[in-house]
Chain A
């Protein structure tokens, strides 16, 4: 049986990278994957969880705990644990959670979410492939 990894732990982030990068729908969902090179944070503030990731040309090159200065982050996106879990399970799309105010853009251009909505939705869906212990 595959060991479940604590959500947003360094091990979870590491395990998610190849799954995200092999998720064809995410890559196809970018407006222009070749120019999508950014640093961003995904957080679950209600549980005190912060992760930082770097995208290079539409692929995740690193994802781990906090490692960048706030000023280096292009986007900071936060949601509650139940919302992240629902998005990962496909219960609803990330864009819908965003519009409903359950996923919050703490920093960064809204245009990024709109133009890359397909990638965002599928990126969150790819989290569902990681064996996850949601009890965090």
Chain B
């Protein structure tokens, strides 16, 4: 899980360097738990680098608990405005993701208290230009 997230994050920041600034604005870790592989990873963002750890590290402000398919869907949502304009949610895939969140099939802990961080996280892992 950590190696896949690290590869995805590294390739994204290389392909879309404007997202480095978004990553720098994430002061606290974000964790991802894959419900169908029972694996967890935590991304800790720093000024010069981001580090992905296996398991939980620090006190993540946002924890995403999702299936592989849901993680795949989330990482295909288009985000604009430094991650603050979640235009990808207004698509068929985005509405499906919102439905899964509403039904608690996809859990985003911290979504209401750290909404901006949650949106920025989607922006840095999204493969959509």
Contacts and interface: CB of A to CB of B under 8 A. Distances in A.
B4 A110 contact: yes
Interface residues of A, number: 15
B76 A98 contact: no
Contacts of A93: 68
A114 B39 contact: no
Contacts of A115: 76, 127
Interface residues of B, number: 17
B1 A101 contact: yes
A28 interface: no
A100 B75 CA distance: 17
Contact of B7 (A96, A100, A110): A110
The 7 closest A-B pairs by CB, nearest first: A111-B127, A100-B37, A110-B8, A95-B68, A117-B72, A96-B68, A99-B68
21 contacts: A93-B68, A95-B68, A96-B36, A96-B68, A98-B68, A99-B34, A99-B37, A99-B39, A99-B68, A99-B71, A100-B34, A100-B37, A100-B39, A101-B3, A105-B7, A109-B11, A110-B7, A114-B8, A114-B75, A115-B76, A115-B127
